[in-house]
Structure 1
Amino acid sequence: MHNDTLAQFLIAVAVILAVCHLCGALMRRWGQPPVLGEILGGLLLGPSALGLVWPEAGAWLFTADTRASLGLAAQLGLVVFMFLLGCELRTGQLGRRRVVLATVAGGMGLPFVLGAGLALLAVPMLIAPGAEQADFVLFFGLAIAITALPVLARILVDLGIEHTRIGTVALSSAALGDGLAWLVITLILAGTGQVATTAGLALALILATVFLVRPALAYVVARIRSDQFLLAVLIVGAITFSALTQLINLHPVIGAFLFGVAVPRDNPAVERIGRQLQGFTIAVLLPLFFAGVGLGTSVGLLGGSFGNWMLFAAVLLIAVAAKVVGAGGGARLAGLPGREAMSLGILMNCRGVTELVVASIGLSEGLINQLGFTMLVLVAVITTAVTGPLIRRHLAAEERLAGETEPSRI
């Protein structure tokens, strides 16, 4: 029986990787980030697609034991992914600080306020049983305000604008916004348990990281000559921090992210290790997480209910409009030209993997129910899918306008 369970788990992993990477390749051919296809591949394996057209296959492939094993593997993938995301966070090198701060304030503030207001109206429909209303409202507002730094970076590279003014401001704003988002999530999760104890332990861990772990890492990284040994040190550290935050009633990804932030920047060995880890994480571990998201997402929950579909439409409208207007408007008020501010607003609307991670935390921590989780997943997919085409069309329109106005200035 043990061998059968292992074989079934390995078959499930093989199917997940094949479907996710095939969908990723299709998205790449269509000019979309491959990660969007991998997310869609995970959704195809869940009750929204496979569960509808071939439920027997889904039930055989994803038994309770297999899903439990996949869940653990997905958590490991999330830990490594968030560690890498923390390593990439560079808030100390913000370009055009005034514009970045205004973009973050508007791009997170307006979606947060409107998302929280909508969540307050939709409490009976989206809150998980037993959750505190205040925690749910704050969490939902934050989930609407997220921007996905990794997917945004990939879109900028694909467009060839990562080193332009818009590209650097967008990356800096997403990095700073991510840091603030995880800080707020930490505070929300601390409020779901023993508040004083959790908050005190979290503060102690942060202080220990800043004053003890970060200097120690700088010392160790500078003296280790073996990439393999340094890889072991960093992975052990990230997993240990994840376990610590789990033990103090916070999600393990917060610990991994915090440890990643403490890793020294601009070190060739760390950058080489990061590329190696990123390749394995993206190729193997993240698709398992996407499959877990897909298994927990059911578009059928929206069903034939007019109220559910109207609520989802409102969530999507607020997510898109508030992000574009808030980020773009903040940048415009800070002095960025109007067309560039609009480009920035469109780019900051990309949510991608980060939104899925946040939504998964809300579901696992008992803040949102399955319907709320499904809506946030669909918002992540739709906003990620439209960002690339919208920004390409906007940039093309800018080029045409510049070409039309150029002769008049001669």
Structure 2
Amino acid sequence: MFPTHMLLLDLALVVVLAKVMGGLARRLGQPAVVGEIVAGVLLGPTLLSPAVTAVIFPVEVRPVLSALAGVGVALFMFVVGTELDVGALRGGGRVTVWTSLFATAVPLALGALLAATLLAGHQRGSAAGFVLFFAVAMSVTAFPVLARIIADRGLTGTRMGSTALTCAAVCDVLAWALLALVVALATGARLQWWLLLLVPYVVVMVTLVRPLLRRAARLRGNGEAGGGLFFAVVLAGLLLSAAFTDWLGLHYIFGAFLFGVLLSTSGGDEVRACVIRRVEPLCGTLLLPVYFVMAGLTIDLSGLSAGEWGELAVILVTAVTAKFAGAYAGARIGGLDARGAVTLGALLNTRGLTELVVLGVGLELGVLDERLYALMVVMAVVTTALTGPLLNRLHPAEQRAPAAGTTAGAEEGAAAGRAG
């Protein structure tokens, strides 16, 4: 008989620990997601023995937790899509264009070079797939976490804050496109369907689904019942979109992300805010912390060898240097002054949960082994944690106290205009 009581106890433990660790991170001037990721790692074999972890999270319960985590990631990617400002992407100036280009190209290049040196010890599947995936993972910037950091530091509405958010959005769009290619290569069994149906799927979503969303948005004017019906339509639509891309072998995150982008272009800020207010409490308080825990159960940092600690050091140096150097060079070419270029480089080094989602895809597809996955998770946490201290030195006068009571969902899904 399925141990329902253990599932409920595990969910209660996850919610409480995520809240405590997230609050602790906020007190230390860090995004809450840093503490929540650490909480997930601490519940795994890094701190606890495998026997203790097995008692807390029985084998029978883990598939259900994994399923809930998957729903949480789909909702998170949907929120990321809704926060993408397509108009800002089209209207970026020289600084945005050059910074986005270099902040993506340099990490891709250096990441590919580093991946070539890691092939012998970590390769799974084809060498080309491993190198390309690792390069993409090094190029990611966490747009939602960055929006939260910018709001907390008093940079919202400034030229620097707007430029950083637009660059992060462009970098992530490029990274998601490249990741889709990696996923297609890694799931060659459905590659023919991916090539045959993907373009018609996108066309249908843009030409048919988007107008339907615009019409459905009018239901919000018919009171609470209308708002509830509109949210039900949106929720069903994003799940169907995610299911279709997963059936194609492209992974469900892309369908959820695209549906979020469609919603962002189908209604105004009020429509997006209405949907996000309903999604964030469930996603941020329960489902994403479950994802952190399931990720933590695969990470064991206690058994790293000296060679693996050396690999972690190289990965960290490469990740920070590549993103910073790329952003700095692009910003300078675009005409930004040196101090602004340094600030932009520090901001774009934020990776957060977005990096964890990318790494989870790689682990699920078998592109990454568990040891390299663990090292990359540490890199994601460290690079995100470094952003705050760097900004303290660059913009000490603009630092503001974080808003109290912010959950991971509010932090990871907050729009730049309402973060805080």
Deviations 1:125-165 (A, max 9, x none): 2222xx12111111100001100011111100110102111
Amino acid at match of 1:156: I
Deviations 1:321-379 (A, max 9, x none): 11111012101110011100100000000000000000000000111111121111011
Residues 325 and 345, structure 1, Cα contact 8 Å, conserved in 2 = yes
Tell me the equivalent position of 2:228.
228
Q: Distance in 1 between matches of 2:92 and 2:159?
A: 9
Q: Distance in 1 between matches of 2:272 and 2:28?
A: 33
Amino acid at match of 1:57: V
Residues 27 and 36, structure 1, Cα contact 8 Å, conserved in 2 = yes
Query: What's the RMSD between the two structures over aligned residues?
Result: 1.7
Amino acid at match of 2:14: I
Tell me the equivalent position of 2:280.
278
Amino acid at match of 1:288: V
**Residue 50 of structure 1: SS of its match in structure 2?**
coil
1:285: how far off?
Answer: 0.9
Tell me the equivalent position of 1:308.
308
**Residue 146 of structure 1: SS of its match in structure 2?**
coil
Tell me the equivalent position of 2:333.
333
Residues 352 and 380, structure 1, Cα contact 8 Å, conserved in 2 = yes
1:63: how far off?
Answer: 1.4
Residues 154 and 398, structure 2, Cα contact 8 Å, conserved in 1 = no
Tell me the equivalent position of 1:360.
360
Amino acid at match of 1:123: L
Residues 129 and 367, structure 2, Cα contact 8 Å, conserved in 1 = yes
Amino acid at match of 1:140: F
Amino acid at match of 1:60: V
Tell me the equivalent position of 1:61.
56
Residues 44 and 300, structure 2, Cα contact 8 Å, conserved in 1 = yes
1:396: how far off?
Answer: 3.0
Tell me the equivalent position of 2:127.
133
1:267: how far off?
Answer: 4.3
1:276: how far off?
Answer: 2.3
Residues 339 and 398, structure 1, Cα contact 8 Å, conserved in 2 = no
- Picking from 109, 114, 121, the partner of 2:117 is 121
Q: Distance in 2 between matches of 1:279 and 1:329?
A: 39
- Picking from 87, 111, 116, the partner of 2:107 is 111
* Relative contact order higher in (CA < 8 Å, ≥ 6 apart): 2
Residues 241 and 259, structure 1, Cα contact 8 Å, conserved in 2 = yes
Residues 356 and 377, structure 2, Cα contact 8 Å, conserved in 1 = yes
Residues 20 and 40, structure 1, Cα contact 8 Å, conserved in 2 = no
Q: Distance in 1 between matches of 2:393 and 2:23?
A: 23
Tell me the equivalent position of 2:155.
161
Tell me the equivalent position of 2:210.
214
**Residue 111 of structure 2: SS of its match in structure 1?**
helix
The change in CA–CA distance for 1:230 and 1:175 in structure 2 (over 3 A counts) is same
Q: Distance in 1 between matches of 2:338 and 2:136?
A: 27
Is it true that 1:71 corresponds to 2:66 in the alignment? yes
Q: Distance in 1 between matches of 2:386 and 2:18?
A: 20
State how many pairs are aligned: 390
**Residue 47 of structure 1: SS of its match in structure 2?**
coil
Q: Distance in 1 between matches of 2:27 and 2:103?
A: 30
Tell me, which stretches of 5 or more residues in structure 2 are unaligned? 400-420
1:395: how far off?
Answer: 1.7
Tell me the equivalent position of 1:402.
none
Is it true that 1:188 corresponds to 2:182 in the alignment? yes
Tell me the equivalent position of 2:260.
260
Identity of aligned residues (%): 38
The change in CA–CA distance for 1:392 and 1:230 in structure 2 (over 3 A counts) is same
Tell me the equivalent position of 2:166.
172
Tell me the equivalent position of 1:404.
none
Residues 36 and 385, structure 1, Cα contact 8 Å, conserved in 2 = yes
Tell me, which stretches of 5 or more residues in structure 1 are unaligned? 400-410
The change in CA–CA distance for 1:397 and 1:68 in structure 2 (over 3 A counts) is same
Tell me the equivalent position of 1:369.
369
Amino acid at match of 1:238: L
Q: Distance in 2 between matches of 1:386 and 1:267?
A: 32
Residues 227 and 269, structure 1, Cα contact 8 Å, conserved in 2 = no
Amino acid at match of 2:211: P
Q: Distance in 1 between matches of 2:372 and 2:397?
A: 37
1:48: how far off?
Answer: 1.0
The correspondence of residues 194-209 of structure 1 with structure 2, limited to 5 A, is 194-209=190-205
The change in CA–CA distance for 1:337 and 1:23 in structure 2 (over 3 A counts) is same
